[in-house]
Amino acid sequence: MMIPAIDLIGGEVVRLYQGDYAQKTNYQYTVQERQQAYAKSGATVMHFVDLDGAKDSTKRQLETLKTVVNHPSMIIQVGGGVRCEDDVKQLLALGADRVVIGSLAIKQPELVTQWLKTYGCEKIVLALDIKIDAQGNKTLPTHGWIEDSGVNLEDLLAQYQDAGIKHVLCTDISKDGTLTGTNVDLYSEVCAKYP
């Protein structure tokens, strides 16, 4: 499934080239306008990334997120800097249907597996940013793609599959924010192995 995503900084819609805050493009429409355009186009799930919250979870864009989480015809998932259970609780209480967890899902899978049990598999989304090397190995960098986790995609997915995970976002970081399309081969392979 293709899910439209909106990245937010300071309440504005942005795009980062390969996750680089220094290579930011600002768009001239509001987050609500963009969300409505996606809804009119038939989107039933919407993904929001709070890039302020990703840098500092105390700067989460709660006021902006409040304006988009209760859309009547969309499932809303929100991520960006989810570092502890209080962050999960805060986003669910705000009205998000799902909370997206990235680096923590790689660094502390036992903790995130516990959240799957506590909040239900429908409420948690793994966000796995994938780096593919020349040999085809799929590793998972963390913390804005700065740290090499040493974790392999297939091993982590197998672990979470056993825990009952239902939602996983995979991003080939070589393509992210570049407007060059998606890695269809990667996504087809992952979907075939982990339906």
Active site residues: 7, 129
Q: Who contacts 32 (Cβ-Cβ below 8 Å, separation ≥6)? A: 67, 68
Element at 46 (helix H, strand E)? strand 45-50
Closest CA to 69 of 41, 40, 42, 99: 99
Contacts of 1 (CB under 8 A, 6+ apart): 45
Are β-strands 75-79 and 98-101 bridged in parallel, bridged antiparallel, or unpaired?
Answer: parallel
Sign of CA dihedral 28, 33, 39, 41: negative
Secondary structure (DSSP) of 113-162: HHHHHHH-TTSEEEEEEEEE-TT--EEEEETTTTEEEEEEHHHHHHHHHH
